[in-house]
Protein backbone atom coordinates (compact mmCIF):
# COMPACT_ATOMS: atom_id res chain seq x y z
CA UNK A 1 0.00 0.00 0.00
CA UNK A 2 1.17 3.53 -0.78
CA UNK A 3 2.77 5.01 2.34
CA UNK A 4 2.40 8.58 1.15
CA UNK A 5 -0.04 11.25 2.23
CA UNK A 6 -0.58 14.31 0.05
CA UNK A 7 -1.43 17.66 1.62
CA UNK A 8 -2.28 21.19 0.55
CA UNK A 9 -3.13 24.23 2.62
CA UNK A 10 -5.41 27.03 1.50
CA UNK A 11 -8.94 28.31 1.16
CA UNK A 12 -9.81 27.23 -2.38
CA UNK A 13 -10.94 23.65 -1.68
CA UNK A 14 -12.24 22.78 -5.16
CA UNK A 15 -9.09 23.98 -6.89
CA UNK A 16 -6.74 22.45 -4.30
CA UNK A 17 -8.35 19.03 -4.32
CA UNK A 18 -8.30 18.86 -8.13
CA UNK A 19 -4.60 19.63 -8.03
CA UNK A 20 -4.02 16.89 -5.43
CA UNK A 21 -6.03 14.33 -7.42
CA UNK A 22 -4.11 15.22 -10.57
CA UNK A 23 -0.84 14.84 -8.66
CA UNK A 24 -1.63 11.24 -7.68
CA UNK A 25 -3.34 10.57 -11.03
CA UNK A 26 -6.39 9.27 -9.15
CA UNK A 27 -8.32 8.59 -12.37
CA UNK A 28 -5.95 5.84 -13.47
CA UNK A 29 -7.28 3.50 -10.74
CA UNK A 30 -10.97 4.02 -11.50
CA UNK A 31 -12.43 1.50 -13.96
CA UNK A 32 -14.29 2.95 -16.91
CA UNK A 33 -18.04 3.03 -16.28
CA UNK A 34 -17.57 2.53 -12.53
CA UNK A 35 -20.23 3.66 -10.13
CA UNK A 36 -18.36 5.98 -7.77
CA UNK A 37 -19.56 6.54 -4.23
CA UNK A 38 -18.61 9.75 -2.43
CA UNK A 39 -19.04 9.45 1.34
CA UNK A 40 -18.92 12.88 3.01
CA UNK A 41 -19.56 13.39 6.71
CA UNK A 42 -23.05 14.85 7.11
CA UNK A 43 -23.57 13.60 10.64
CA UNK A 44 -25.91 16.50 11.44
CA UNK A 45 -27.70 19.20 9.46
CA UNK A 46 -25.20 22.02 10.06
CA UNK A 47 -23.19 23.99 7.51
CA UNK A 48 -19.51 23.09 7.22
CA UNK A 49 -18.38 26.36 8.84
CA UNK A 50 -19.59 24.95 12.21
CA UNK A 51 -16.94 22.22 12.09
CA UNK A 52 -19.04 19.05 11.77
CA UNK A 53 -19.70 18.42 8.08
CA UNK A 54 -17.76 18.07 4.84
CA UNK A 55 -17.40 21.29 2.88
CA UNK A 56 -19.53 21.04 -0.29
CA UNK A 57 -16.94 22.93 -2.36
CA UNK A 58 -14.45 20.14 -1.60
CA UNK A 59 -16.92 17.53 -2.86
CA UNK A 60 -17.59 19.77 -5.84
CA UNK A 61 -13.88 19.72 -6.74
CA UNK A 62 -13.85 15.90 -6.60
CA UNK A 63 -16.96 15.71 -8.80
CA UNK A 64 -15.44 18.13 -11.32
CA UNK A 65 -12.26 16.03 -11.45
CA UNK A 66 -14.21 12.80 -11.94
CA UNK A 67 -16.51 14.26 -14.60
CA UNK A 68 -13.54 15.80 -16.43
CA UNK A 69 -12.16 12.25 -16.60
CA UNK A 70 -15.36 10.88 -18.11
CA UNK A 71 -16.99 9.47 -14.96
CA UNK A 72 -20.70 10.20 -14.92
CA UNK A 73 -22.06 7.56 -12.54
CA UNK A 74 -21.48 9.32 -9.23
CA UNK A 75 -23.52 9.03 -6.04
CA UNK A 76 -23.18 10.89 -2.76
CA UNK A 77 -23.90 8.46 0.07
CA UNK A 78 -24.70 9.28 3.67
CA UNK A 79 -26.73 8.22 6.65
CA UNK A 80 -26.69 10.93 9.33
CA UNK A 81 -26.50 9.96 12.98
CA UNK A 82 -29.43 8.49 14.87
CA UNK A 83 -32.08 11.14 15.43
CA UNK A 84 -30.97 13.39 12.55
CA UNK A 85 -32.51 13.41 9.08
CA UNK A 86 -30.09 12.80 6.20
CA UNK A 87 -32.49 14.57 3.83
CA UNK A 88 -32.34 17.66 6.00
CA UNK A 89 -28.54 17.43 6.17
CA UNK A 90 -28.37 17.20 2.35
CA UNK A 91 -30.41 20.40 2.16
CA UNK A 92 -28.82 22.42 4.96
CA UNK A 93 -25.24 21.43 4.07
CA UNK A 94 -25.62 22.46 0.41
CA UNK A 95 -25.70 18.97 -1.14
CA UNK A 96 -29.17 19.24 -2.72
CA UNK A 97 -27.89 22.15 -4.72
CA UNK A 98 -24.60 20.40 -5.54
CA UNK A 99 -26.40 17.25 -6.75
CA UNK A 100 -28.72 19.30 -8.96
CA UNK A 101 -25.91 21.30 -10.55
CA UNK A 102 -23.72 18.29 -11.33
CA UNK A 103 -26.49 15.72 -11.89
CA UNK A 104 -25.17 13.36 -9.27
CA UNK A 105 -27.35 11.10 -7.17
CA UNK A 106 -27.99 11.64 -3.46
CA UNK A 107 -28.52 8.39 -1.57
CA UNK A 108 -29.98 8.48 1.93
CA UNK A 109 -28.49 5.38 3.55
CA UNK A 110 -30.90 5.69 6.49
CA UNK A 111 -33.58 4.56 4.02
CA UNK A 112 -31.55 1.78 2.42
CA UNK A 113 -31.91 -1.95 3.02
CA UNK A 114 -28.93 -3.78 4.53
CA UNK A 115 -27.38 -7.19 4.96
CA UNK A 116 -24.66 -8.67 7.15
CA UNK A 117 -20.98 -8.92 6.31
CA UNK A 118 -18.82 -11.09 8.54
CA UNK A 119 -15.40 -10.01 9.77
CA UNK A 120 -13.78 -12.44 12.19
CA UNK A 121 -16.14 -12.97 15.11
CA UNK A 122 -18.29 -9.94 14.25
CA UNK A 123 -21.22 -9.72 11.86
CA UNK A 124 -21.90 -6.17 10.72
CA UNK A 125 -25.00 -5.00 8.87
CA UNK A 126 -23.94 -2.83 5.95
CA UNK A 127 -26.25 -0.75 3.72
CA UNK A 128 -26.98 -2.51 0.41
CA UNK A 129 -26.07 0.54 -1.64
CA UNK A 130 -22.40 -0.23 -0.91
CA UNK A 131 -22.74 -3.38 -3.08
CA UNK A 132 -23.49 -1.18 -6.11
CA UNK A 133 -20.41 0.99 -5.65
CA UNK A 134 -17.25 0.03 -7.56
CA UNK A 135 -15.02 2.79 -6.24
CA UNK A 136 -15.49 4.45 -2.85
CA UNK A 137 -14.10 7.87 -2.01
CA UNK A 138 -14.27 8.60 1.70
CA UNK A 139 -14.48 12.35 2.45
CA UNK A 140 -14.37 12.76 6.22
CA UNK A 141 -13.84 15.84 8.36
CA UNK A 142 -10.77 15.99 10.61
CA UNK A 143 -12.32 16.64 14.02
CA UNK A 144 -12.44 15.71 17.67
CA UNK A 145 -14.75 13.16 19.23
CA UNK A 146 -15.86 12.96 22.85
CA UNK A 147 -15.49 9.15 23.04
CA UNK A 148 -12.86 8.12 20.49
CA UNK A 149 -10.82 11.38 20.74
CA UNK A 150 -10.64 11.82 16.95
CA UNK A 151 -12.93 11.06 14.06
CA UNK A 152 -11.75 11.00 10.48
CA UNK A 153 -11.60 8.34 7.72
CA UNK A 154 -12.15 5.10 9.66
CA UNK A 155 -15.04 6.34 11.75
CA UNK A 156 -16.73 8.10 8.83
CA UNK A 157 -17.80 4.72 7.42
CA UNK A 158 -20.23 4.46 10.32
CA UNK A 159 -22.59 6.44 8.08
CA UNK A 160 -22.78 3.34 5.83
CA UNK A 161 -24.64 1.17 8.37
CA UNK A 162 -28.29 1.27 9.44
CA UNK A 163 -29.37 3.15 12.56
CA UNK A 164 -29.83 0.09 14.76
CA UNK A 165 -26.27 -0.97 13.90
CA UNK A 166 -24.98 2.48 14.87
CA UNK A 167 -26.58 1.99 18.30
CA UNK A 168 -25.02 -1.46 18.60
CA UNK A 169 -21.58 0.00 17.73
CA UNK A 170 -21.86 2.22 20.81
CA UNK A 171 -22.86 -0.76 22.96
CA UNK A 172 -19.77 -2.57 21.66
CA UNK A 173 -17.53 0.31 22.71
CA UNK A 174 -16.99 1.77 19.19
CA UNK A 175 -13.31 0.86 18.72
CA UNK A 176 -13.60 -2.78 17.67
CA UNK A 177 -16.65 -2.36 15.41
CA UNK A 178 -15.14 0.72 13.72
CA UNK A 179 -11.95 -1.19 12.93
CA UNK A 180 -13.90 -4.23 11.71
CA UNK A 181 -16.26 -2.11 9.62
CA UNK A 182 -13.25 -0.90 7.66
CA UNK A 183 -12.39 -4.49 6.88
CA UNK A 184 -15.98 -5.08 5.73
CA UNK A 185 -16.04 -1.97 3.50
CA UNK A 186 -12.98 -1.14 1.43
CA UNK A 187 -12.19 2.50 0.86
CA UNK A 188 -10.34 3.24 -2.39
CA UNK A 189 -9.42 6.87 -1.82
CA UNK A 190 -9.62 9.31 1.07
CA UNK A 191 -9.99 13.08 0.78
CA UNK A 192 -9.91 14.71 4.22
CA UNK A 193 -11.63 18.01 4.91
CA UNK A 194 -9.22 19.54 7.41
CA UNK A 195 -10.37 23.06 6.61
CA UNK A 196 -12.28 23.81 9.76
CA UNK A 197 -12.99 20.67 11.78
CA UNK A 198 -14.17 20.72 15.36
CA UNK A 199 -11.91 20.82 18.40
CA UNK A 200 -13.58 18.08 20.41
CA UNK A 201 -17.11 17.20 19.27
CA UNK A 202 -18.31 15.49 16.12
CA UNK A 203 -21.44 17.66 16.00
CA UNK A 204 -19.35 20.84 15.69
CA UNK A 205 -19.59 24.17 17.48
CA UNK A 206 -15.89 24.85 18.07
CA UNK A 207 -14.31 24.78 14.62
CA UNK A 208 -10.53 25.09 14.43
CA UNK A 209 -9.39 26.64 11.19
CA UNK A 210 -6.51 24.68 9.66
CA UNK A 211 -7.07 25.27 5.92
CA UNK A 212 -5.88 21.72 5.25
CA UNK A 213 -6.80 19.07 2.67
CA UNK A 214 -5.28 15.59 2.80
CA UNK A 215 -5.42 12.88 0.15
CA UNK A 216 -4.30 9.28 0.52
CA UNK A 217 -5.28 5.68 0.00
CA UNK A 218 -4.66 4.17 3.43
CA UNK A 219 -7.28 5.11 6.06
CA UNK A 220 -5.11 3.93 8.96
CA UNK A 221 -2.16 5.98 7.76
CA UNK A 222 -4.35 9.04 7.26
CA UNK A 223 -6.05 8.72 10.65
CA UNK A 224 -2.82 8.11 12.54
CA UNK A 225 -1.36 11.24 10.92
CA UNK A 226 -4.51 13.18 11.80
CA UNK A 227 -4.27 11.97 15.41
CA UNK A 228 -0.87 13.68 15.66
CA UNK A 229 -2.18 16.84 14.03
CA UNK A 230 -4.75 16.97 16.82
CA UNK A 231 -2.26 16.35 19.61
CA UNK A 232 -2.65 12.60 20.17
CA UNK A 233 -0.28 9.71 19.83
CA UNK A 234 -1.84 7.10 17.47
CA UNK A 235 -1.62 4.51 20.30
CA UNK A 236 -4.19 6.58 22.22
CA UNK A 237 -6.87 5.85 19.60
CA UNK A 238 -7.95 2.23 20.14
CA UNK A 239 -9.45 1.61 16.71
CA UNK A 240 -6.25 2.65 14.92
CA UNK A 241 -4.23 -0.19 16.40
CA UNK A 242 -7.06 -2.67 15.83
CA UNK A 243 -7.48 -1.62 12.20
CA UNK A 244 -3.72 -1.95 11.62
CA UNK A 245 -3.77 -5.45 13.16
CA UNK A 246 -6.63 -6.42 10.85
CA UNK A 247 -4.59 -5.34 7.84
CA UNK A 248 -6.78 -2.36 6.94
CA UNK A 249 -3.65 -0.22 6.62
CA UNK A 250 -0.40 0.95 8.21
CA UNK A 251 0.19 3.21 11.16
CA UNK A 252 2.09 6.42 10.48
CA UNK A 253 5.82 5.83 11.04
CA UNK A 254 9.25 7.05 9.98
CA UNK A 255 8.72 5.62 6.46
CA UNK A 256 5.60 7.68 5.86
CA UNK A 257 6.11 10.53 3.48
CA UNK A 258 3.89 13.61 3.66
CA UNK A 259 4.06 15.37 0.30
CA UNK A 260 3.00 19.01 0.64
CA UNK A 261 1.88 20.55 -2.64
CA UNK A 262 0.80 23.94 -1.28
CA UNK A 263 2.44 25.01 1.99
CA UNK A 264 0.64 26.78 4.82
CA UNK A 265 -0.01 30.46 4.36
CA UNK A 266 -1.37 33.39 6.28
CA UNK A 267 -5.01 33.33 5.19
CA UNK A 268 -8.19 35.17 6.13
CA UNK A 269 -9.15 34.08 9.64
CA UNK A 270 -12.73 33.04 10.37
CA UNK A 271 -14.26 34.25 13.62
CA UNK A 272 -13.40 31.83 16.43
CA UNK A 273 -15.85 30.17 18.81
CA UNK A 274 -15.75 31.10 22.49
CA UNK A 275 -13.76 27.97 23.44
CA UNK A 276 -11.16 28.64 20.74
CA UNK A 277 -10.99 32.32 21.66
CA UNK A 278 -10.36 31.42 25.32
CA UNK A 279 -7.33 29.31 24.34
CA UNK A 280 -6.14 31.94 21.86
CA UNK A 281 -5.85 34.45 24.73
CA UNK A 282 -2.76 32.57 25.91
CA UNK A 283 -0.99 33.28 22.63
CA UNK A 284 0.87 36.26 21.19
CA UNK A 285 0.21 36.06 17.48
CA UNK A 286 1.54 38.00 14.52
CA UNK A 287 0.51 36.85 11.04
CA UNK A 288 0.29 33.16 11.90
CA UNK A 289 -0.77 30.71 9.21
CA UNK A 290 -4.11 29.16 10.10
CA UNK A 291 -2.59 25.66 10.06
CA UNK A 292 0.06 26.66 12.60
CA UNK A 293 -2.42 28.47 14.80
CA UNK A 294 -4.87 25.55 14.54
CA UNK A 295 -2.15 23.11 15.65
CA UNK A 296 -1.43 25.29 18.67
CA UNK A 297 -5.13 25.50 19.58
CA UNK A 298 -5.43 21.70 19.42
CA UNK A 299 -2.29 21.33 21.57
CA UNK A 300 -3.59 23.82 24.16
CA UNK A 301 -6.96 22.03 24.25
CA UNK A 302 -5.22 18.70 24.92
CA UNK A 303 -3.06 20.35 27.57
CA UNK A 304 -6.22 21.78 29.16
CA UNK A 305 -7.82 18.31 29.19
CA UNK A 306 -4.80 17.12 31.19
CA UNK A 307 -5.15 20.06 33.61
CA UNK A 308 -1.77 21.43 32.53
CA UNK A 309 -2.64 24.82 31.04
CA UNK A 310 -0.70 26.51 33.86
CA UNK A 311 2.45 25.13 32.21
CA UNK A 312 2.02 27.36 29.18
CA UNK A 313 5.09 29.63 29.06
CA UNK A 314 4.76 33.36 28.44
CA UNK A 315 5.16 34.86 26.04
CA UNK A 316 3.99 32.09 23.74
CA UNK A 317 4.64 33.47 20.27
CA UNK A 318 3.55 32.33 16.83
CA UNK A 319 3.47 33.75 13.33
CA UNK A 320 5.39 35.02 10.36
CA UNK A 321 5.69 38.42 12.06
CA UNK A 322 8.31 36.87 14.37
CA UNK A 323 10.54 35.75 11.51
CA UNK A 324 14.08 37.03 11.97
CA UNK A 325 13.27 38.32 15.47
CA UNK A 326 14.96 37.20 18.68
CA UNK A 327 13.87 37.37 22.25
CA UNK A 328 12.79 35.69 25.46
CA UNK A 329 9.86 33.37 25.00
CA UNK A 330 8.58 30.12 23.65
CA UNK A 331 7.89 29.99 19.93
CA UNK A 332 5.69 27.80 17.75
CA UNK A 333 6.99 26.93 14.31
CA UNK A 334 10.16 27.68 12.38
CA UNK A 335 9.29 31.39 12.09
CA UNK A 336 10.11 31.74 15.80
CA UNK A 337 13.48 30.02 15.75
CA UNK A 338 15.13 33.18 17.14
CA UNK A 339 13.34 32.80 20.51
CA UNK A 340 14.73 31.12 23.64
CA UNK A 341 13.12 27.87 22.62
CA UNK A 342 10.74 26.88 19.86
CA UNK A 343 8.88 23.92 18.40
CA UNK A 344 10.33 23.05 15.00
CA UNK A 345 8.12 22.57 11.94
CA UNK A 346 6.21 24.60 9.39
CA UNK A 347 3.60 24.00 10.66
CA UNK A 348 4.45 21.78 13.63
CA UNK A 349 1.90 19.13 14.60
CA UNK A 350 -0.15 19.58 17.74
CA UNK A 351 1.53 16.41 19.03
CA UNK A 352 4.99 17.99 18.74
CA UNK A 353 3.79 21.19 20.41
CA UNK A 354 2.09 19.26 23.18
CA UNK A 355 5.12 17.11 23.89
CA UNK A 356 7.32 20.18 24.27
CA UNK A 357 4.80 22.14 26.35
CA UNK A 358 3.95 19.17 28.57
CA UNK A 359 7.67 18.55 29.12
CA UNK A 360 8.17 22.05 30.61
CA UNK A 361 8.37 22.13 34.37
343 binds ligand SF4 (CB under 6 A): no
Contact present, 188 and 34 (Cβ < 8 Å): no
Strands (DSSP E) found in the chain: 4-9, 36-40, 74-78, 105-108, 114-119, 122-127, 135-139, 143-145, 149-151, 189-194, 212-216, 257-262, 284-285, 316-318, 327-332, 339-343
From the CB of 74, what's the least distance to ligand SF4, in Å?
35
Query: Which DSSP state fits 193?
Result: E
Q: Check residue 320 for interaction with ligand SF4 (CB under 6 A).
A: yes
Residues 49-78 as x/- pattern, contact with ligand SF4 by CB under 6 A: ------------------------------
Q: Which residue is nearest to ligand SF4 (CB)?
A: 333
Q: Is 225 exposed, middle or buried (0-12, 13-18, 19+ CB in 10 A)?
A: buried
Contact region with ligand SF4 (CB under 6 A), list: 18-26, 45-53, 209-217, 333-341: 333-341
- Phi and psi at 39, nearest 5°, equal -115, 90
CA distance 311 to 169: 38
> Nearest distance from residue 348's CB to ligand SF4, in Å?
7
Q: How far is Cα 144 from Cα 350, in angstroms, rounded to an integer?
A: 13
Residue 346 within binding range of ligand SF4, rule CB under 6 A: yes
Burial of residue 234 (CB within 10 Å: 0-12, 13-18, 19+) is buried
**Smallest distance from the beta carbon of 213 to ligand SF4, in angstroms?**
15
If binding is defined by CB under 6 A, does position 335 make contact with ligand SF4?
Answer: yes
Question: Please, what is the minimum distance in Å from the beta carbon of residue 339 to ligand SF4?
Answer: 12
Strands 149-151 and 143-145: antiparallel
Nearer to ligand SF4, 216 or 294 (CB): 294
Stretch that binds ligand SF4, among 104-112, 118-126, 285-293, 352-360 (CB under 6 A): 285-293
Site string (217-256) toward ligand SF4, x via CB under 6 A: ----------------------------------------
Whether 35 contacts 125, CB under 8 Å? no
Pick 12 or 337: Cβ nearer ligand SF4:
337
Q: How far is the CB of 296 from ligand SF4 (least distance, A)?
A: 9
Rank residues 85 and 320 by Cβ distance to ligand SF4 and give the closer one: 320
Binding residues with ligand SF4: total (CB under 6 A): 12
Give, for 180, the enclosing helix (H) or strand (E).
helix 175-184
- Cβ atoms of 315 and 342 within 8 Å: the answer is no
Residue 198 CA to residue 181 CA, distance in Å, equals 24
- Binding mask of the shown chain, residues 260 to 279, with x at each position contacting ligand SF4 by CB under 6 A: ----x---------------
Residue of the chain from 26, 62, 210, 292 that contacts ligand SF4 (CB under 6 A): 292
Determine, following the binding rule CB under 6 A, whether residue 174 of this chain makes contact with ligand SF4.
no
The site for ligand SF4 (CB under 6 A) is made up of 264, 288-289, 291-292, 319-320, 333-335, 346-347
Amino acid sequence: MDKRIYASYGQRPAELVKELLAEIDAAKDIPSGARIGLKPNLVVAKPAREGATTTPELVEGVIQYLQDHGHKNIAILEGSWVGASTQRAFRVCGYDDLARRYRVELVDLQKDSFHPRRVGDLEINVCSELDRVHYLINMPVLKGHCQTKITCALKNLKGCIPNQEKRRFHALGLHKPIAYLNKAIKTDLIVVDGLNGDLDFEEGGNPVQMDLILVGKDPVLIDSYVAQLMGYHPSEIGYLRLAAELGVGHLFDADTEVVVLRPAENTRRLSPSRAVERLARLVQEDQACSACFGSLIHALARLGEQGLLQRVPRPLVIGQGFRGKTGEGFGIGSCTRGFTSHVKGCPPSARDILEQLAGLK
